[in-house]
Structure 1
Amino acid sequence: MDVLSVPAGRPRGWYLPLMAPNSRGPAFACLDPSRLYCNAQALADCVKDPAGALPRDSIDLVAGIDAMGFILGRRSPRPLGKGFLAIRKAGHLCVETRSQSYSDYTGRDKVMEVRLDVLRPGLKVLLVDQWIETGGTMKAAIQLVEQQGATVAGVAAVAIENTEGGKWIKETYRFSHCVPEELQLHVDAKNLDFIKTWN
């Protein structure tokens, strides 16, 4: 699919074939969704599809995970009418923070942090990231939110794989992503060839 192609009707997930496959080896994610962000309509629909599945009145704040979660998370508050909080990789915030260690999809140990003066008991937070593979990054963000007494109102992403961590998120929290049910097995199998011919 050309980066400028927009199909008639724009069915849910029509933009998924714009993702590019990993060509750099196992140290990188299996797919790169960032090319679909270059298509203005694809980006708008990629944000609208998961955000629109969650009731607006169930969310007080949108939080995006560093770094690709910033793109989707920052666009999400506009249709939801909510503010945005950045959950950062450790060492980037110049204020007091709470930190949480985790392992990412490559198995590398990392630390993320969030400022202390926003999250509070009773605040309902929608957590947004680009892709949930093992679930380690999102679980750390969930811990940061809940440790400060706030509530995770939902989890949104381009895709949530049915790994052990992905299933835990789906079973424990309200969630939404851009993958139609008929494509889930192909996303889990990293079968981009099928996704490209889906439409």
Structure 2
Amino acid sequence: LHAQCLQRLQSPRMDLCHVPATREKGWYLALMAPNVKGPNYAWLDPSRLYCHPQGLQDCVADLLQPFQGDAIDMVAGIDAMGFILGAAAAATLQKGFLAIRKAGHLCVQTVAQPYTDYSGREKVMEVRTDTISPGEPVGCSPFGGLRVWARGTHPQPLPPPGLRILLVDQWVETGGTMRAAIKLVEQLGGVVAAPLCVPTGVAAICMENSEGGKWIQERYKCSQCVPRHLQPHFDQH
């Protein structure tokens, strides 16, 4: 994959019209650009694939495929690169988009969550408090939104579930950023993995099998674009 990226960079510009005859899952990963600036930067720049119209469409389609038929109320993207894929996913699903920002940029009431990013730097993210709130019952129970009690008692309404949020970021490396975003959403009453209803979850181009990445995958429904046979390459970069 790295060799394919380097080969594409030898061209002065991307061929926006070239599409492979067989568009297998992840074909667009070869459009990503490798690091040419040294160890202070990430090893790949995925944003190059966003410039390719079919590559971007197929990337978003692959991210959303595992959630087909799932109830999703809103898509949330993490500052900053998660905004691109998150907004594209929201537009595809015809849902609203919630921006989870780096602290200090929102002029409204927010809640904040500290975290450590993939580079080991301590940061803080925040989200507005006027968007996510417990929602109305959505009838996902086979009993029509009612809890079934023992024989002879009366059924009682289920407590309303929170908004079901699909969290999107460009990459999950150590998992620290995504775990902080999950805490923010759940703190405000949103549901990342709804126990009462169809679960939503977490989506990224790549979810590395780091300790933090595994923690997320064990607890939430996840989607990524990296085919299984390429996963070791991304884990060992």
Alignment TM-score > 0.5, same fold: yes
Within the alignment, does 1:117 sit opposite 2:130 as a pair?
yes
Residues 41-78 of structure 1: per-residue CA shift (max 9 Å, x gap)? 10111111011221344211000000100000000012
Amino acid at match of 1:82: K
Q: Which runs of 5+ in 2 are unaligned?
A: 9-13, 135-161, 193-199
Residues 136-190 of structure 1: per-residue CA shift (max 9 Å, x gap)? 1001100000111210121001100000011111111000010111110111122
CA distance in 1, matches of 2:52, 2:119: 28
CA distance in 1, matches of 2:68, 2:128: 26
CA distance in 2, matches of 1:28, 1:177: 22
CA distance in 2, matches of 1:172, 1:55: 19
Alignment of 1:17-28 (within 5 A): 17-28=30-41
1:67 aligns with 80
Alignment of 1:1-199 (within 5 A): 2=8, 3-4=14-15, 5-121=18-134, 122-152=162-192, 153-190=200-237
CA distance in 2, matches of 1:35, 1:89: 23
RMSD: 1.2
CA distance in 1, matches of 2:122, 2:50: 28
Higher RCO (CA-CA < 8 Å; seq separation 6+): 1
CA distance in 2, matches of 1:87, 1:10: 32
Amino acid at match of 1:79: T
Bigger shift: 174-183 or 72-81?
72-81
Shift of 1:25: 2.7
CA distance in 1, matches of 2:236, 2:55: 23
Q: Which runs of 5+ in 1 are unaligned?
A: 191-199
CA distance in 1, matches of 2:113, 2:64: 26
Amino acid at match of 2:184: L
Residues 76-130 of structure 1: per-residue CA shift (max 9 Å, x gap)? 0122121110000001111000000001010000000000011113100000000
Equivalent position SS for 2:20: coil
Equivalent position SS for 1:53: helix
CA distance in 2, matches of 1:161, 1:23: 22
TM-score, normalised relative to structure 2: 0.77
CA distance in 2, matches of 1:175, 1:57: 13
Higher helix share: 1
Equivalent position SS for 2:27: coil
Q: Which has the larger radius of gyration?
A: 2
* CA shift in 2, pair 1:56/1:67, >3 Å: farther
